[in-house]
Amino acid sequence: MADQVAEISACHCDLCRGWTGAAQWGFEAPAPGVTVTGDVKTYRATSFSERAFCPNCGTHLWLRDDDGPYEFVPGLFEELRAVPLEREVYADRAFACVRLAGEHRRVTRDAYERDHPHVNTEVCDDQV
């Protein structure tokens, strides 16, 4: 983390809503700068990504597309408390209970999927 200011994003896609209950917040960190220590469990969330969590307490740690940057959960880093929201993805898919106020970039589902064609919102068949 040290000298780099994180850009925090929120996502309202089906997968993120299912993972977090409403919206998922994250910030990217390039993989070469990340060292993981301690116990971590990963779960293959999609055909192109994994989720990670602590096997002792279940806390969410990151999302990561294959060969992509880590997308860490900002709530784990107290030093990010004052960092404002930079971007809201799938903004047009937000539930009414999590409409995010303020000045930040809002990206619609169509725009995001146009720029990230490998993404679709495949949801586990076991989910409601």
- Which chain residues interact with Zn ion by CB under 5 A? 11, 13, 16
Lookup result for tokens 């002792």: 56
Phi-psi region of 87 (alpha: psi -120 to 50; beta: other; left: phi over 0): beta
Cβ proximity to Zn ion, 13 vs 73, nearer residue: 13
What's the min distance (Å) between Cβ of 62 and Zn ion? Answer: 13
For Zn ion, give the closer residue by CB, 83 or 123: 123
Closer to Zn ion by CB, 54 or 120: give it: 120
CA–CA gap between residue 60 and residue 52 (Å, rounded): 6
Give min distance, CB of 45 to Zn ion, in A: 10
Select 13 or 45, whichever has its Cβ closest to Zn ion. Answer: 13
CB 38, min distance to Zn ion, A: 26
Shortest distance, CB of residue 11 to Zn ion, whole angstroms?
Answer: 3
> What letters, b where the CB count within 10 A reaches 16 and e where it falls short, cover 17-44?
bebbeebbbbbbbeeeeeeeeeeeeeee
User: Residue 86 class from Cβ within 10 Å (0-12 exposed, 13-18 middle, 19+ buried)?
Assistant: middle
